[in-house]
């Protein structure tokens, strides 16, 4: 029988200090990866998926992609960020796509579903803009797999009391 323990994050490095394998975390992370395959981003390793869960039930999903009615980078034939030479982790507003976390939160809102006290599973650590939306939406826990160079987002999660856990399949 597996002992459950609190997963703590080192906010300096983003490392999970006490990784614990949880079959539900694994299942929902698999769904986040499936949803990421729907992304319209043409940059390598930038296909992001997010799943919002309450009581082991999927409430909403999101992937990074252009807003409704806006052509994707694939349809335009170029990535604006690459064309302008914008580094990863900077000027996130300069992109046609909305982030996966944003799209999942908006999907729940459009459907009139509260996500208060929910868990968000994401293939990548949320950026600071997504962190602010996650905090204000009432999500209490974020589980991500791949890191992202945004220490300020980690700091905000910590201050707001939102649990940030790096997923590790062991």
List active site positions: 101
Q: Exposed e or buried b for every residue in 62-101, given b needs 16+ CB within 10 A?
A: bbbbbeeeeeebeeeeebebeeeeeeeeeebeebbbbbbb
Measured in degrees and rounded to the nearest 5, phi and psi for residue 123 equal -70, -25
Tell me if 58 sits within 8 A of 130, measured CB to CB. no
């Amino acid at each position: 029988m597996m002992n459950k323990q609190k997963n703590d994050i080192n906010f300096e490095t983003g490392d999970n200090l006490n990784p614990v394998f949880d079959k539900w975390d694994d299942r929902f992370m698999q769904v986040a990866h499936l949803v990421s395959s729907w992304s319209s981003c043409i940059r390598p390793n930038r296909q992001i998926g997010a799943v919002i869960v309450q009581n082991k039930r999927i409430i909403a999903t999101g992937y990074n992609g252009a807003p409704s009615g806006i052509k994707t980078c694939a349809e335009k034939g170029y990535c604006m960020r690459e064309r302008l030479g914008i580094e990863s982790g900077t000027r996130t507003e300069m992109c046609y796509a909305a982030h996966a976390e944003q799209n999942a939160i908006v999907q729940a809102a459009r459907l009139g579903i509260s996500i208060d006290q929910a868990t968000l599973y994401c293939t990548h650590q949320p950026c600071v803009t997504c962190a602010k939306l996650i905090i204000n939406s009432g999500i209490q826990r974020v589980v991500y797999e791949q890191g992202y160079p945004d220490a300020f987002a980690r700091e905000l999660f910590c201050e707001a009391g939102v649990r940030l856990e790096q997923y590790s399949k062991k």
